[in-house]
């Protein structure tokens, strides 16, 4: 649930991803089967509503997981290859400012100040 915690940093770390769904509905199932289909909830960032996405895995194959917290305890044992990208704070800021801006954070100056 997005924004359920008052502490934004803790909320971002604990609530950004549903690790149970990622690990048990996708990673564990993909490792145990050559093919499967499932539906899982996904947050539409434009509407802030949870929708459902269909996943058809016709393995064996490769699942690529991208995200800030992929090294967390819940998922790290399922990842066979991990690639980290190191960018400067200047490049990170440039990318942040190019994204669609969440009304909670305000305009470019408010985002830079934050």
What is the pTM (predicted TM-score) of this model?
A: 0.59
Distances (CA, A) of 34 to 17, 20, 31, 59, 79: 25, 21, 8, 4, 17
pLDDT at 29 (0 to 100) = 83
Residues of the chain with pLDDT under 50: none
Write down the pLDDT at residue 88: 93
Residues near 46 by Cβ (< 8 Å), separated by ≥ 6? Answer: 100
What single DSSP character describes residue 2? Answer: T
pLDDT of residue 33: 81
- Residue 101 is given by DSSP the state P
- The pLDDT, as a whole number, for residue 21 is 81
Give tens-digit pLDDT for 50-61. Answer: 889 898 888 777
Query: Are 29 and 36 spatial neighbours (Cβ–Cβ below 8 Å)?
Result: yes
Helix (H) or strand (E) holding 44: strand 36-44
């Amino acid at each position: 649930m997005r924004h359920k915690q008052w502490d934004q940093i803790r909320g971002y770390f604990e609530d950004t991803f549903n690790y149970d769904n990622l690990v048990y509905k996708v990673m564990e199932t993909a490792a145990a089967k050559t093919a499967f289909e499932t539906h899982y909830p996904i947050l539409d960032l434009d509407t802030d509503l949870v929708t459902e996405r269909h996943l058809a895995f016709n393995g064996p194959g490769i699942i690529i997981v991208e995200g800030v917290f992929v090294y967390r305890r819940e998922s790290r044992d399922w990842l066979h290859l991990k690639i980290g990208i190191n960018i400067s704070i200047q490049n990170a800021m440039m990318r942040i400012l190019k994204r669609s801006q969440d009304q909670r954070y305000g305009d470019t100056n408010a985002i830079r100040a934050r």
